[in-house]
A and B are shown apart, each in its own frame.
Chain A
Amino acid sequence: MGKRSAEDTILMKRVARGEKDALGELYDLYGRLVYSVALHFVRDPNVAEEITQDIFVTIWTKARDYNPERAGVSTWMLRITRNRSIDELRRHKSRRDIPVGTTMDVVQNVNTSNGEAEDPENLAVREWDRVRIVEAVDSLPEQQRQALRLAYFHDLTHREIAEELNEPLGTVKSRIRMGLQKLRKMLEAGEVTE
């Protein structure tokens, strides 16, 4: 991911210079991720497309403000996609019923993706990293994973999660803390964080 990260930064520099081809390359690398995350939030393909388009137009106009020392390109894109999706959900006041993905879903989708535009070595490393991330999340105890997903995809506070699950607030706080600590250690060991 390190080499990919450095090359992403140079790609962003080209986007900042107004090269539409560079934005196209960025879309080939991360368009599927942005669309999939947005779709997971809003559950409506048309709205997910609209969000994806907004994200890439935002990247186009804000590329000069991107600071690689604060976050990698994929992390930055993931975070602005989450923020944009949460804004969309707030507009429609619909923050419920998020499905749970599994490792097999991801592996199957990775295997059927086209990905022709990317260096095969980079593609293999990136997708292996991704599989490890999914496996790390899937390996969490169900209750911890559920609490973390409610916080991430529903943007619920711990108190709201406790109400949603009908559990004591302290229990929810413990689940989230322990889940995030485990994830941090697993990702640190695999060096997949960017």
Chain B
Amino acid sequence: MITGRQEHEEMSHLLPSYVTGGLEPDEIAAVKRHLRRCVRCRALLAEYRSAFDAVGLSVPLKEPPPSLRSRIIDSLPAQPPYRLPSPIRFILDHPRAAIAASFAVLLILFGSIWLNVSGISGAALPAGNHSARSAEDILAVMSGTSVAPDARAIIAIGADETSGVLYAFGLPVLPAGYAYQLWLMKDGVRKSGGVFRVTPEGHAVHHIRLPVPLTEFPTFGITVEPESGSDDPTGSKILENQAPGSDGASQPGIEETSGFRTDL
């Protein structure tokens, strides 16, 4: 009888041949079965594939004709119509309904948080009290920069104002090793609001907790950083908000004091 360990050793031994097309059909089927349940072999397979790619990457580089670039750009066909992810499509098609629904969800959510924090049972409270929180709970509305113009986010705060939730949509999915990092800024001072990743659809719900009230910060930004987070922003800025009182023009001083990069 073959043990799991024996099977793993046998199958991992076959991976180089699997990658280079050197196995018989029955061996390929056995490797595929093993890969479905072996995380280590899946990681090893990715490494062998990269090693095989290196054979291709090692070719001597030759310059294509200078005219090829413009020929390619000139020959590009129209892209197929873009289907937005369904939540964004709904928001764009029904903006009023989407805003109303968002506030209703937030009111219920934060009403529940407030009730839990207060130790009050929802059942013991009149239904009308669930709407005690107001639109002031929305601390910031963030828009995508030129790097990711489809991105949108809002930050809502909890009852104690030192915690909040970021809801983000339309963010690019980042490669392994990278994450988004939220920054809160006031008078040129930055604080990290934590790092987060997004779903394959580009959505995220990120919880924020700071030792000081979030309401102290007028400016927020989100950048691409290594997944462990950075002490200061180092990657491209993806989202930003308009500080209260702003006329919608870019905020003077933010680029200089925050260290954000908008270029690629």
A residues near B (Cβ < 8 Å) are 2-3, 5-7, 9-11, 13, 16-18, 20, 23-24, 27-28, 31-33, 35-37, 39-40, 45, 48-49, 52-53, 56-57, 60-61, 64, 67-69, 72, 75, 78-79, 81-82, 101-102, 105-106, 109-110, 113, 130, 133-134, 136-138, 148-149, 151-153, 155-158, 173, 176-177, 180-181, 183-184, 187-188, 193-194
A61 to chain B, nearest CB (A): 6
Point out the residues of chain A lying under 8 angstroms from B47, CB to CB.
184, 187-188, 193
A contact face: mostly helix, strand, loop, or mixed: helix
Kindly state whether residue B161 has any CB partner on chain A within 8 Å: no
* Contact partners of A109 in chain B: CB under 8 A: 60-63
Q: Are A13 and B76 in contact (CB under 8 A)?
A: no
Cβ contact within 8 Å between A20 and B60: no
Known: A52-B72, A57-B72. A133 touches B60 (CB 8 A): no
From residue 164 to 207 of chain B, which have CB atoms closer than 8 A to chain A?
172-178, 200
User: Contacts A6-B178, A36-B59 known; A152 to B52 CB distance under 8 Å?
Assistant: yes
Instruction: Kindly identify, within residues 88 to 115 of chain B, every residue whose CB is under 8 Å from any CB belonging to chain A.
Output: none
- In the assembled complex, which residues on chain A have CB atoms less than 8 Å from the CB atom of B148? 10, 13
Additional 20 contacts, C-beta under 8 A, given A23-B73, A110-B61: A2-B226, A6-B224, A7-B236, A10-B147, A24-B73, A36-B60, A37-B56, A45-B65, A57-B75, A60-B77, A72-B175, A101-B59, A133-B58, A152-B52, A152-B55, A153-B56, A177-B17, A184-B50, A193-B47, A193-B51
Complex CA gap A142/B220 in Å reads 57
Q: How many residues of B contact A (CB 8 A)?
A: 53
Chain A residues closer than 8 Å to B48, beta-carbon distance: 180, 184
Interchain nearest-CB distance for B58 vs A (Å)? 4
Whole-angstrom distance between the Cβ of A90 and the nearest chain B Cβ: 14
Residues of A contacting B54 with CB < 8 Å? 133, 136-137, 183, 187, 193
Q: When the two chains form their complex, are residues A151 and B20 in contact, meaning their CB atoms are under 8 A apart?
A: yes
- Which residue numbers of B lie inside 8 Å of A, CB to CB? 13, 16-17, 19-22, 47-48, 50-65, 68-69, 71-73, 75-77, 79-80, 82, 147-150, 172-178, 200, 224, 226, 235-236, 264
